[in-house]
Structure 1
């Protein structure tokens, strides 16, 4: 049977452009025969039937004259989320595409300067929930320096003596088989900090293919809580985080 690149077959199936189809595959929401399609240019039979995972919409949870706070779903870039709330809305920090949870958006540029100083001075409390492969029985602190590197269009972070300070605190919450649900707090906010630190320790996050995690429906990392100035925001993890606790 004739074969064609996956993104082209998907474009025909969904009646969308090739570029739109490629973006869907790159986003990690396209499946073929129950398996995630990871390479847009991989060749597949032309009669292949793809399944596209529905992406949740960001939910606004708070707003005042200075700040707008949303519950960001997995599979959306932080920049995309900000654009959905208006031209004058901007990011106060970032979450990885695969990470869900509390995302702060700004409405006032002077207030943005204050927020930047709060982050720089480590006066922001950031709490995450994740599932990792492996059994973590005791709390652990990881203080490996991290360095961001770029390879083509891909950004990765590696443990390096030449990197920036990064401190991550991990506390086990539950263990099921060879997986552990953990609470994480960080003192810094380096790119992919939690993901790299846990992988380096031998406990990659479930669904984190970039850093050695096992395949899953999504990256099981959720930004649960953030506290700064007189604000405190919290969003419970999605139901999928209870997958092994049923």
Structure 2
């Protein structure tokens, strides 16, 4: 047996520090399962796979807004640095793929867009793959409390903020369900926490009890605000529906 980061270091001819960083970023898997702890003991014959981050694609751009198709394993703030003169309007979790919007900081459109988010006048639709069969759609209306630290983590709590997620099964694949999730609010990890609360955590969401996978199977599919509509197609690592 050998520690995962040491195996990766040998396999990829990189330093132990770089190997640890890749594992900490959630980009390393073994036999299709994500390695989350660099010191995980693995058989010396194990073959580790690194998920390489593809280049973000521009969905749409004008003088007011820039819509990007964000790949997984890229932090939102890192993405923003790739586009000079633009700033984040909102964020996506590192492993979440899909539509993310950038604006010109403090422009009239930025101020109007922030108000649209505050007043919940933004349509946000995600796709999520969960373990288990969800036969019917439902509304999940449970308050969410977020604990801030080195890494944010949320939970259902009467002390939390109002949160509403509307889910609808799109297809059943074996014992998995591909869901549409529409969020009316934007709490930290909202879809992830709400799905965990009904017993169907997202595949790859090890933070909230999901089965291990190459990545968090959550995709920001559509977003609409102030007359704009943007869509990111279903990624290749999601099952078709």
- Give the structure-1-normalised TM-score: 0.88
User: 1:215-234 CA deviation, whole Å, 9 max, x = no partner?
Assistant: 22221111110000011101
Return the match for 2:187 from 190, 195, 198: 190
CA shift in 2, pair 1:123/1:70, >3 Å: same
User: Which structure ranks higher in relative contact order (CA pairs < 8 Å, sequence separation ≥ 6)?
Assistant: 2
Q: Secondary structure at the match of 2:148?
A: strand
C-alpha distance in structure 2 between counterparts of 1:54 and 1:8, whole Å: 19
CA shift in 2, pair 1:6/1:193, >3 Å: same
Q: How large is the RMSD of aligned CA atoms in angstroms?
A: 2.2
Q: Secondary structure at the match of 2:181?
A: strand
Q: Which moved more, 1:107-116 or 1:47-56?
A: 47-56
Tell me what 2:169 maps to.
172
Tell me what 1:78 maps to.
76
Q: Which moved more, 1:209-218 or 1:18-27?
A: 18-27
Q: How many residues align?
A: 240
| Structure 1 residue 33: Cα displacement | 5.8
C-alpha distance in structure 2 between counterparts of 1:29 and 1:173, whole Å: 28
- Give the structure-2-normalised TM-score: 0.90
- Stretches of structure 2 that go unaligned for 5 or more consecutive residues are none
Aligned 8 A contact 1:207 1:213 in 2: yes
CA shift in 2, pair 1:32/1:171, >3 Å: closer
CA shift in 2, pair 1:141/1:49, >3 Å: closer
- Stretches of structure 1 that go unaligned for 5 or more consecutive residues are none
Tell me what 2:111 maps to.
113
| Structure 1 residue 103: Cα displacement | 0.4
Return the match for 1:25 from 23, 43, 51: 23
